[in-house]
Amino acid sequence: MPKSEERMIDKDGVRIDGRKYNELRQTKIEVGILSNADGSAYIEQGKNKILSAVYGPHEVHPKHLALPNRSRLRCRYHMAPFSVEERKSPAPSRREQELSKVIREALEPSIFLEYYPRTSIDLFIEILQANGGTRCAGITVASLALADAGIPMRDLTTACAAGKVEGQLVLDLTDNEDKKGEADVPVAYMPNLDAITLLQMDGQLTLEEFEKTINLSLEGCKQLYELQKEALKVKYVAVKEEVEE
């Protein structure tokens, strides 16, 4: 294949998967799909498939981890061995540990942790299939799982990445775009409170480009926020319609 054809964005500004620069991947969200966990949610964002579950608030084990003034949020981001092209060791890697921490810190501001001192909230994010932007999709789905568990929250957290590919700023990068592109900026955001809870950058951007990228991500977050709210409602509206028939 000639090299010139391997471009991520064609001359009309259409990306390799047919999206425009400011378009999200096809996203499907479901809430409350696991019966054993206190709260759960599932997201499909393009080829990403992520399941999230929440337990708690409950007693902390081991007990010395309990905080006297607030609840402890514990978060595990984990990729299934079959989630990527080459089998991934199921043991938590450095990257997963870092992402667990990053996701925890992105979600903590949204939860009223101080309402339940000496307890813990355990959050699990399982990546069943990964195709770029899993930390963002993970935050989006985890926030819904927390809401489904009935944990009091200030707002839903929603996250979306934007970046620069072949000189153009684009929203919601796939794995390929991320690897071949110049920069990637994941942002987590609480739309009602207009607060950013996570901001990372990988690659190089000028200051002007950086600002544009953030604004692009925020637009993506707002779109996702609507999908999140919709998903929360659907769970109850479906029952209601069934009854009213």
Binding region for another protein (CB under 8 A): 38-39, 56-59, 71, 112, 115-119, 147-156, 192-193, 229, 232, 236, 239-240, 243-244
Residue whose CB is less far from another protein, 57 or 220: 57
Nearest alpha-carbon partner for 189 in 142, 221, 162, 141: 221
Residue 110 CB burial class (10 angstroms; 0-12, 13-18, ≥19)? buried
Give the nearest distance from C-beta 93 to another protein in angstroms: 32
DSSP E strands in the chain: the ranges are 27-31, 39-45, 48-59, 72-79, 119-129, 158-165, 168-171, 183-190, 195-199, 202-203
Minimum separation from the CB atom of position 118 to another protein (A):
7
Quick one: how far is CA 159 from the chain centroid? 5
**Among the listed residues 17, 184, 226, 188, the one whose alpha carbon sits nearest the alpha carbon of residue 103:** 188
Nearest to 190 by CA among 111, 132, 116, 98: 111
Q: What's at 72, amino acid-wise?
A: R
Closest CB to another protein among residues 169, 221: 221
Whichever of 9 and 60 has its CB closer to another protein, that residue is 60
Residue closer to another protein by CB (options 22, 119) is 119
| Closest distance of CB 108 from another protein, Å | 15
- CA–CA distance, 183 with 213 (Å, rounded to integer): 10
Shortest distance (Å) from residue 31 CB to another protein: 9
Q: Which is nearer to another protein, 4 or 35 (CB)?
A: 35
Nearest approach, Cβ of 224 to another protein (angstroms)? Answer: 14
Task: Give the shortest CB-60-to-another protein separation in angstroms.
Answer: 10
Nearer of residues 13 and 152 to another protein, judged by Cβ: 152
Residue 166: which of 174, 177, 175 has the closest Cα? 177
